[in-house]
């Protein structure tokens, strides 16, 4: 269907018609050659590589291969470290031993321990001496024999001596010196042991030993875990 239009009318000269998609498809299908169904034939040299199996549902496992590191569980292991420098004099436990918390694992013979003990003993002696001076100066002050500033000076010296005692005592605690060893350091005329016990921080099993008797170790390296 359509119409003719004269030139100059503003319309395309010719005849227009509506296309039918169904008809176009049917023509294309008729023009295409027919395909005959058939069987897939395997070449004789490929038959040996085929495997016939029953069709069934299955799952395909996925294996991932990668690198990793084997290490101790940091939440359940710890290292035993020493706070002083010196040679190891004795080792009390071995690999596989069961230990309890604060149990001595080894002993380190260190001049640091002797120096800390000596500093504490001297600080205690000064504290005792300055306490006597304070008491004596107070008595003299009450009898008008000394000035108030002399008593205050003696009291300041006593306070300084007490501060030195606390500082030296803190060093001994950091070294892990026990109360019995501190009492021994306070007694005059007694020998001061230079051995410091390295104690177990937790209860457990010794799983690694990195030291041997006579080895000189530095503060904070691992000695056992």
Quick count: other Cβ atoms within 10 Å of Cβ 130? 19
CA dihedral 177, 182, 188, 194 (to 10 degrees): -10
DSSP codes, 177-199:
--HHHHHHHHSTTPPPP-EEEEE
Evaluate if pTM is beyond 0.75. Answer: no
Question: What pLDDT score was predicted for residue 164?
Answer: 93
Question: What pLDDT score was predicted for residue 16?
Answer: 41
CA dihedral 148, 149, 154, 156 (to 10 degrees): 120
Give per-residue pLDDT as tens, 14-59: 344 444 555 545 555 555 556 666 777 878 888 888 888 888 888 8
């Amino acid at each position: 269907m359509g119409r003719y239009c004269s030139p100059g009318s503003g319309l395309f000269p010719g005849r227009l018609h509506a296309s039918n998609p169904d008809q176009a498809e049917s023509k294309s299908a008729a023009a295409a050659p027919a395909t005959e169904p058939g069987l897939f034939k395997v070449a004789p040299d490929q038959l040996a590589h085929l495997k016939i199996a029953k069709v069934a549902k299955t799952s395909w496992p996925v294996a991932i291969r990668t690198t990793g590191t084997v290490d101790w569980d940091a939440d359940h292991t710890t290292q035993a470290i020493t706070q002083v420098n010196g040679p190891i004099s004795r080792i009390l436990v071995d690999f596989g031993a069961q230990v309890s918390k604060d149990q001595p694992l080894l002993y380190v013979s260190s001049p640091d321990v002797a120096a800390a003990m000596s500093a504490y003993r001297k600080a205690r002696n000064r504290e005792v001496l300055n306490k006597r001076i304070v008491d004596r100066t107070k008595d003299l002050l009450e009898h008008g024999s000394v000035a108030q500033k002399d008593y205050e000076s003696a009291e300041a010296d006593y306070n300084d001596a007490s501060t030195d005692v606390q500082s030296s005592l803190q060093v001994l605690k950091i070294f892990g010196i026990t109360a019995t060893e501190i009492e021994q350091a306070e007694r005059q005329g007694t020998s001061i042991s230079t051995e410091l016990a390295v104690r177990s921080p937790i209860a457990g099993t010794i799983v690694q030993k990195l030291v041997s008797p006579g080895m000189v170790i530095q503060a904070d390296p691992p000695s056992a875990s």
